[in-house]
Amino acid sequence: MKNSTERTVVAEIGLLIYPDCQLAAVYGLTDMFRIAADWAESISGEAALRAIRVSHWQVNTENETVECVWDSHPDEPHRLSHVIAPPGLVVPSKMVSMAVPAQWMNTLYHEGVTLCSVCAGAFVLAETGLIDHRRATTHWAFAQALAERFPAVDVAAENMVIDDGDIITAGGILAWTDLGLTLIEKLLGTGTMLATARFLLIDPPRREQSTYAAFIPDFDHGDGEILRVQHRLHASFADPQSIEEMAALAGMTPRTFLRRFQKATGIRPTEYVSAGQDYESQGCAG
């Protein structure tokens, strides 16, 4: 089998490495695109040797520019066709400013490059301003934060992948597999995409993530009294306390407790307990 440098490059996909991004996604996509090229050769034969060039890009903090730090085809001039902002490993509130990569992506977009994001990578993409008044998806747990930080974005967290051609967004933290297969199908064909998915033992691109949404409460709200009640509830959802008992544990009146609890967690105490009970009944908590 010929190596990738002897194949016709049909696209160059740039993977953005930013602080606290998920490197597993960066390297996973790199490997996936290489595997896809091998399967494209196996399916099409010697007459149609094709490859996807992959390059990694990172901010040079000394001169505030985005530079290539790795390239599968290092001896050829860059011709980026796609750029992907991968998932992050921290919650959105802890993500640093992405002004430099956002400006880089904005410039590339106006040169015809397709922009893509996965999970919290949507926050990087949103900083470009290019998804204002457009539908975009992110991890369902980050949807509210994305909508609050970038209110002009039409957040559609129920979707796993939203493909608008020039901009493609993917939802969950492992949705880089869905995005990768989506791009492989576009660039190398459906047969190659399916062969790649079979080889990697993963499903073809999914369209919705609502079925993956689970009870993931917020413990990072900063309200110590409410946090104390949450820990008591999580000790035994099967034996929930009354509103009066929860309020007493928090050291406040029931009315104040109800207001503070909903402000901290986003839902009422009764809804919180019900969600926790449902989650445990599904065997998800152990």
Token pair in block for residue 130: 């290019």
pLDDT bracket for residue 165 (50, 70, 90): very high
Rounded to an integer, the average pLDDT of 78-105 is 96
CA distance 117 to 45: 32
- CATH 3.40.50.880 at 4-212, yes or no: yes
Break the chain into its structural domains and give their ranges.
4-212, 224-281
CA angle 125, 128, 130 (to 5 degrees): 85
Residue 198's alpha-carbon distances to 164, 193, 201, in angstroms, are 26, 9, 5
DSSP β-bridge partners for residue 82: 13, 114
Contacts 24+ apart (CB under 8 A), 151-156: 153/126
Residue 91, pLDDT score: 92
d(CA 26, CA 94): 20
Residue 54 is encoded by which pair of tokens?
């992959």
- CATH code: domain 224-281 is 1.10.10.60
Using CA atoms, how far residue 68 sits from 56, 65, 176, 274, in Å, is 6, 10, 21, 50
CB 196 within 8 A of CB 32: yes
Whole-prediction pTM: 0.73
For residue 75, pLDDT beyond 80:
yes
Q: What is the pLDDT of residues 176-203, one digit of tens each?
A: 999 999 999 999 988 899 889 989 999 8
Query: What are the tens digits of pLDDT across the range 107-153?
Result: 999 999 999 999 999 999 999 999 999 999 999 999 999 999 999 99
192: burial class by Cβ within 10 Å (0-12, 13-18, 19+)? buried
Higher pLDDT, 13 or 7: 13
pLDDT of residue 260: 95
Which stretch of 58-72, 116-130, 265-279 has the lowest confidence by average pLDDT? 265-279
Tokens of 261: 């609890």
**Residue-level pLDDT at 2:** 45
Lowest mean pLDDT among 5-14, 16-25, 245-254: 5-14
